[in-house]
Structure 1
Amino acid sequence: MLRVLVIDESQSRAADICAGLVKAGHQVAAVLASSLDLAGRVEELKPDVILIETDSPSRDTLEHLSAMNRDMPRPVIIFANDDDSGLIREAMKAGVSSYVVDGLDPARIKPIVEVARARFEETLALRRELAETTQKLSDRKIIERAKGLLMKTRKMEEEEAYHALRRLAMDRGQSISRVSRDVIEMAKVLL
């Protein structure tokens, strides 16, 4: 059972959404009239999914979603009447997993939530992979730089410099990238 945070300025529409969510087997964590203090409410309520129904998402709503997406990412579904492609792109950049135009049919809630969750998980996996790849590239650059310093200052061959860094990393029980950073920092002080 998923906990869903519903945001809708219309209480009657929100009641229909809540009924559809319960029928789909989900629990309503809370119903908010606006996205004001969204991050605080998400931190407090810890919903699994955020569902927003609006005529058109405001710039403030998209900014709140973007901030929340950086710190506490969650699948976000927006049901709106506005089909402006620029606005849809902005919503997707803000972390919206699914943007559905022409309102909400309570009978469609379950599959829409599942698609949004699947897309969110895929996006999260891609972000993690990108972060890991970026970190590996950064580590590789640092190791290359430390090897270059050892080759220049100690007149070592490349393989010899790499083995020296590896030995130092093993002796210290640290990663080779951490040792390489230390070598670069020491070189700044000494040179």
Structure 2
Amino acid sequence: MSEAIRIVVIAPDLDLIDPDDAHAREQAERSRSLRIGLLESGFNLVASLPSDVFLTERLAQLRPDLIIVDAESDARDALEHVVMATRDARRPIVMFTNDHDSGNARAAVAAGVTAYIVAGLQSDRIRPILDVAMARFQHEQALRQELADARSELNELSASVKERKVIDRAKALLMERQKLSEPDAYARLRKAAMDKNLKMVEVAQRMLDVADLLG
């Protein structure tokens, strides 16, 4: 499964790093190590992109299966760009960083990061980390779909109950004013709906509206 995963890495452009900046050189080395580790592990590294305003369009074109954020000092800015870029097309996001602040880790997970990995660039760790991240993301997506389906069923049930109440009120009105039995009142509503090519609840609601208007 891992070999088929299309990965995009979000990281600073290595060609623009100041060679006199020791911290920038260290981060560049981390980025190179990560990319080498991905290739050595057999993953399909389709692109390395900066976290800029064009990220949404680029991700839409590349359609990666997984996104890796490789950032440190600008981790929050990079993460915000990635989260916004994947808002309408959710994808697993794995963040590699040297930031040991647990508060930042919690904030990243709350923002949508699937896995927050601190100092985890050893080649033999990359494959299991990404495989677990993919599995976790798929599990979470399945749970979200189950929740959405449950909400949809609940909404349908609620709507059905409301419709039944409207029809029952209209039946009671017919039974009272035209001295009909319940089956006859139901049959009268059903025939009116068929004749007018409307739903029974629509006919019932119109009848109630007229009754309210006339008193």
CA distance in 2: counterparts of 1:151 and 1:84, whole angstroms: 61
Partner of 2:125: 108
CA distance in 2: counterparts of 1:99 and 1:105, whole angstroms: 15
Q: Which runs of 5+ in 1 are unaligned?
A: 172-178
CA distance in 2: counterparts of 1:107 and 1:127, whole angstroms: 32
The answer to whether structure 1 residue 6 and structure 2 residue 44 are counterparts is no
| Structure 1 counterpart SS, 2:60 | helix
Q: Which of 36, 48, 72 is the equivalent residue of 1:19? A: 36
Partner of 1:176: none
Question: Which residues in structure 2 correspond to 1:128-167 (within 5 Å)?
Answer: 128-155=145-172
Report percent identity of matched pairs: 35
Q: Which runs of 4+ in 1 moved over 6 A?
A: none
Letter in 1 for 2:101: D
Cα deviation for residue 70 of structure 1 reads 3.0
Partner of 2:205: 187
Partner of 1:44: 61
Partner of 1:86: 103
Partner of 1:125: 142
| TM-score (normalised: structure 1) | 0.77
| Structure 1 counterpart SS, 2:7 | strand
The answer (yes or no) to whether the contact 2:95–2:117 under 8 Å persists in 1 is: yes
Letter in 1 for 2:141: L
CA distance in 2: counterparts of 1:37 and 1:185, whole angstroms: 53
The answer (yes or no) to whether the contact 2:67–2:91 under 8 Å persists in 1 is: yes
Letter in 2 for 1:151: D
Letter in 2 for 1:44: Q
What is the root-mean-square deviation of aligned Cα atoms in Å? Answer: 3.0
Query: Which has the greater radius of gyration?
Result: 2
| Structure 1 counterpart SS, 2:9 | strand
Mean Cα deviation higher: 129-138 or 34-43: 34-43
